[in-house]
Structure formats: structure tokens, C-alpha cells
């Protein structure tokens, strides 16, 4: 009886040991990754260390930074049982590091009793470069003159590669493009809606380690007042446009409601679409000399006319006219105002049948309300090449061309680009001397 009890106890012990071995039967080493795990980093870089062990879990981790002959302990941590995954942020700012190469050594062990109870260990070494110096920006161009609603250009050089560089003020960022000479050219706008006190353009450059520095530029900004215009929406206009507009809106019941949806919602969608095109630009200028104003065309509505819309004497809407209207004869030949690539050649909401050309450095031109298009997506066009015929498609009451010029998706004053001396003094001469 007594020996039977002993045997029973022995069986229980054996069973427990077997279960234990089975439970700790983890021969797989824990896995680890570091992001970023190579390349340049700065004091501010967030280094993320991810650990995981699919078996019994992570037991401990140890991180040491090695620079030259110094071993600098950064982190040591033990984990509670069953920790399968752990994400840790490494903070290098607590260490005294020198500029230049460094290595990060990570050692992690799991809870397994293998290797005489020491567990499975993974050790990995990451080689990175410690860089805390922001790029040095040397502005090359001089005398930057801006008029509200207009454009300008700055050129500069950087002493190191940049992840992001361009001109910034407030919420606005205009990307710069590196030129063949190695220096950068940034075309930017003084947007028609930005207050004079808020237009403080600065060149910024962020290097691959994330170090960033702004540089001021010398500039003069001239204010400009834009016109106020009243527009009467007649029943005749609504009757004429409703069949075309019905296709652009969801709720197509009342002609006035349809008009307002197109003038507000569709207009907004079209603006966003145009802004998306700004990144599809040549990094070198494609234009050649001043823009060619449409031949023999008279100016109608102007850039940044602030419009108030009335219907039967009642105010119904407000919008800003973001281009220059030009008209000659009906179905007049419309020419490309400069050398460029066709980014769009089809119907686009309020712009009707429409062509958008890219001229490089984020400069783009838009030709709206056309009756016929003679170019296709991807075509390269020359200055003065016929791209179609004028019409009254989209938000247009009569046959005319609506010309829009955009810098990084921001609408700008076309007259500057038609002016050969403005272009020479403010844009082309700055590009030549970079
Ligand atoms: Zn227009």
C-alpha cells in the first residue's frame, strides 16, 4: 500500500517535469528589430526597438551604444513572464555622443530553460551615423520682389543632402527642385488670400537625420487690392447650363440648387484635383521666355476678382475668380502659352473641357471652357502651339477662355508671366546665376 502511494507520487512528479519541459520546450531565439536600423540619425530621431518571442516570452533586453572605444549602456530591462511582444523607444539624448559613426548593440534573452537555464539569446549590431548639424543654407539669389497674388523664385545651395527643402511660411510649403548645377530652385507664391504680415518666406532644409534649419531671405512684398464684382444669375443662364450641370451633382431637382452645388462643391473638388497635379512637375524649368498671351484676345474678368452672386436681387453665393478671362471670337484657336507637358486634357467640372500643362518647378497653366481639345495626355507642346478651341463648357455663360496659372497648386496672377521684363528680373536671371 505504502509503495503504491510512493509510485503514485513519483508519477505525479514525472508528469509535472514532463509538462514543464514541454512548456519550456522553446528552442527558438527571440527576434528583434530597430527602426531606423541604419543610416543617419540625430538626437531627435525616435529609435524604435521591437522585440518578440513566439515561444515562452522575452525575459530581458540590454542595449549598449558603441562609439570609438567607448561602450555606453543605454537600457537594461527585465520583463514579466508571458511577455511575447515589447516595443521600446530608445532615447539617445541621455548619452554624450560625438558626431560620426556609432553602433547599437542589442542583446535579448527569452524565458526558456534551454542552455542550462540561460535561455535563447539574440544579439544584433546596428551601424548608424550620428548627425546633429542642420544643413547650411546659402541663399544665392538677390532682391526678391513680390506682389500679393504673384510669384517669385529663390535659389540656394546646401552643404548636404536634404530629405525636405523649400520655402515655408505659415501652413504653406513650396518644394524646391535640385538643378543640374547642384543648387536648388524654389518657385513660390505670395497667395492672394495671405495677409501681408503672414507672408514671411523662409528657406528650410531638413537633412536625412532630421536636423532642420530655416534661413531668412531678403524680400519686398507689395500689397494689392483686388476687385469686387457682382454677378447676376439669370433664369436664362440656369436654363442654358442645367442640362450640363445635372450630370455633376447628386441631387438634381431645382436649377438654382444645382448651380450652387456646382459653384461650391464641384469648384472645391476641381481645385483639389488641380492641387494634386502640382507634384507631377518637371524638376527643371520647361518654359522658354515669357508666356504668350492668347493673340488678339480682350481681357474680361480678372485674377482674384471677389465675386458676389445674386439671383433675383438676392445674394446667393461668394467665390473668388482665380484666373484671367480672355475672349476674341467664338471657337478661337487656343495656344499653349509656353513649352510644357499635357497633364490633363478632358472635362473637369466648372472648367468644362480643359487642358492643364506642366512647365516645371511646380508651374502649371490651365485652359478652361474649351469646345475642342487638340492635344492628349502626355503630349509635349511648344509655345504658341494650338491646343484646342475656345467655348463655353463648364461654368461659363459665353464663349471665352479662362486661363489659370498655378505655382505648387496655388493660383497666381497670369499677367506677371506675360511680362518679359518681370520674368527676366524675377525668375530667369535668378536661375541663370545659381
Ligand atoms: Zn474665368
Residue ranges, CATH 2.60.40.10, the chain: 27-130, 137-222
d(CA 46, CA 91): 7
Q: What DSSP state is assigned to residue 371? A: S
Tell me which residue of 226, 187, 17 sits closest to 113, measured CA to CA: 17
Q: Please, what is the Cα angle at 72 between 77 and 81, to 5 degrees?
A: 10
* pLDDT score at 117: 74
H/E segment holding residue 40: strand 39-41
* pLDDT score at 60: 93
For residue 37, report the distance from its CA to the centre of ligand 1, in Å: 53
For residue 41, report the distance from its CA to the centre of ligand 1, in Å: 49
For residue 403, report the distance from its CA to the centre of ligand 1, in Å: 7
* pLDDT score at 276: 95
d(CA 413, CA 422): 12
Residue ranges, CATH 2.70.70.10, the chain: 228-413
- DSSP code string of 166-188: EEEETTEEEE-EE-TTS-EEEEE
* pLDDT score at 11: 76
| CATH class name, domain 228-413 | mainly beta
For residue 370, report the distance from its CA to the centre of ligand 1, in Å: 12
For residue 305, report the distance from its CA to the centre of ligand 1, in Å: 10
Q: Which residues crowd ion ligand 1, with CB under 5 Å? A: 323, 325, 402
For residue 362, report the distance from its CA to the centre of ligand 1, in Å: 21
Q: Please, what is the Cα angle at 243 between 240 and 245, to 5 degrees?
A: 95
Specify whether the CB–CB gap between 246 and 229 falls below 8 A. Answer: no
Specify whether the CB–CB gap between 357 and 340 falls below 8 A. Answer: yes
In the chain, the N- to C-terminal Cα span, in Å, equals 102
For residue 402, report the distance from its CA to the centre of ligand 1, in Å: 4
Question: In CATH, which superfamily holds the domain spanning 27-130?
Answer: Immunoglobulins (2.60.40.10)
For residue 413, report the distance from its CA to the centre of ligand 1, in Å: 13
- The per-residue b/e assignment along 134-147, b for 16 or more CB within 10 angstroms, e otherwise, is bbebeeebeebebb
Q: Domain 137-222 belongs to what topology?
A: Immunoglobulin-like (2.60.40)
Listed in sequence order, the residues at least 6 apart from 298 whose beta carbon sits closer than 8 Å to its beta carbon are: 326, 327, 328
For residue 300, report the distance from its CA to the centre of ligand 1, in Å: 8
For residue 379, report the distance from its CA to the centre of ligand 1, in Å: 25
For residue 8, report the distance from its CA to the centre of ligand 1, in Å: 96
* pLDDT score at 167: 98
For residue 80, report the distance from its CA to the centre of ligand 1, in Å: 68
d(CA 147, CA 125): 55
For residue 400, report the distance from its CA to the centre of ligand 1, in Å: 8
CA distances for 192 relative to 64, 150, 236, 310, angstroms? 54, 8, 32, 24
For residue 253, report the distance from its CA to the centre of ligand 1, in Å: 26
* pLDDT score at 24: 55
* pLDDT score at 201: 97
For residue 425, report the distance from its CA to the centre of ligand 1, in Å: 28
* Strand residue runs (E) in 45-120: 47-52, 58-67, 70-78, 85-90, 100-110
* pLDDT score at 9: 78
For residue 324, report the distance from its CA to the centre of ligand 1, in Å: 6
For the chain, which ranges sit under pLDDT 50? Answer: none
For residue 147, report the distance from its CA to the centre of ligand 1, in Å: 21
Amino acid at each position: 500500500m505504502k509503495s503504491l502511494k510512493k509510485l503514485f507520487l513519483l508519477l505525479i512528479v514525472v508528469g509535472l517535469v514532463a509538462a514543464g519541459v514541454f512548456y519550456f520546450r522553446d528552442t527558438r531565439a527571440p527576434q528583434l528589430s530597430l527602426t531606423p536600423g541604419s543610416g543617419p540619425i540625430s538626437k531627435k530621431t525616435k529609435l524604435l526597438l521591437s522585440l518578440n518571442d513566439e515561444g515562452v516570452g522575452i525575459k530581458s533586453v540590454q542595449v549598449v551604444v558603441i562609439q570609438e572605444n567607448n561602450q555606453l549602456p543605454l537600457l537594461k530591462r527585465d520583463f514579466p513572464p508571458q511577455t511575447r511582444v515589447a516595443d521600446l523607444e530608445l532615447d539617445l539624448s541621455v548619452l554624450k555622443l560625438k558626431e560620426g559613426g556609432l553602433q547599437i548593440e542589442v542583446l535579448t534573452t527569452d524565458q526558456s530553460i534551454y542552455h542550462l537555464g540561460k535561455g535563447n539569446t539574440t544579439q544584433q549590431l546596428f551601424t548608424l551615423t550620428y548627425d546633429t548639424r542642420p544643413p547650411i543654407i546659402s541663399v544665392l539669389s538677390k532682391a526678391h520682389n513680390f506682389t500679393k497674388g504673384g510669384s517669385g523664385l529663390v535659389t540656394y545651395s546646401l552643404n548636404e543632402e536634404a530629405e525636405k527643402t523649400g520655402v515655408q511660411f505659415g501652413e504653406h510649403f513650396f518644394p524646391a527642385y535640385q538643378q543640374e548645377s547642384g543648387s536648388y530652385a524654389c518657385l513660390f507664391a505670395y497667395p492672394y488670400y495671405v495677409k501681408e504680415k503672414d507672408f514671411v518666406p523662409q528657406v528650410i532644409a531638413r537633412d536625412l537625420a532630421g536636423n532642420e534649419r530655416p534661413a531668412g531671405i531678403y524680400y519686398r512684398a507689395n500689397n494689392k487690392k483686388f476687385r469686387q464684382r457682382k454677378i447676376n444669375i439669370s433664369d436664362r443662364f440656369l436654363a442654358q447650363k442645367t442640362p450640363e450641370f445635372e450630370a455633376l451633382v447628386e441631387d438634381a431637382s431645382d436649377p438654382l440648387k444645382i448651380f450652387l452645388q456646382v459653384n461650391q462643391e464641384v469648384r472645391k473638388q476641381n481645385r483639389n484635383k488641380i492641387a494634386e497635379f502640382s507634384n507631377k512637375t518637371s524638376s527643371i524649368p520647361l518654359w522658354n521666355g515669357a508666356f504668350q498671351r492668347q493673340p488678339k484676345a480682350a481681357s474680361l474678368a480678372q485674377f482674384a476678382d471677389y465675386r458676389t452672386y445674386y439671383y433675383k436681387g438676392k445674394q446667393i453665393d461668394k467665390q473668388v475668380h482665380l484666373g484671367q478671362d480672355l475672349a476674341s471670337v467664338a471657337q478661337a484657336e487656343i495656344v499653349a502659352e509656353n513649352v510644357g507637358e499635357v497633364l490633363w486634357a478632358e472635362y473637369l467640372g466648372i472648367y468644362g473641357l480643359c487642358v492643364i500643362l506642366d512647365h516645371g518647378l511646380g508651374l502649371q497653366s490651365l485652359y478652361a471652357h474649351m469646345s475642342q481639345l487638340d492635344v492628349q495626355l502626355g503630349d509635349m507642346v511648344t509655345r504658341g502651339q494650338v491646343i484646342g478651341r475656345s467655348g463655353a463648357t463648364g461654368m461659363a455663360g459665353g464663349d471665352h477662355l479662362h486661363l489659370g496659372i498655378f505655382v505648387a497648386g496655388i493660383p497666381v496672377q497670369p499677367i506677371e508671366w506675360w511680362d518679359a521684363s518681370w520674368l527676366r528680373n524675377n525668375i530667369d536671371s535668378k536661375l541663370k546665376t545659381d
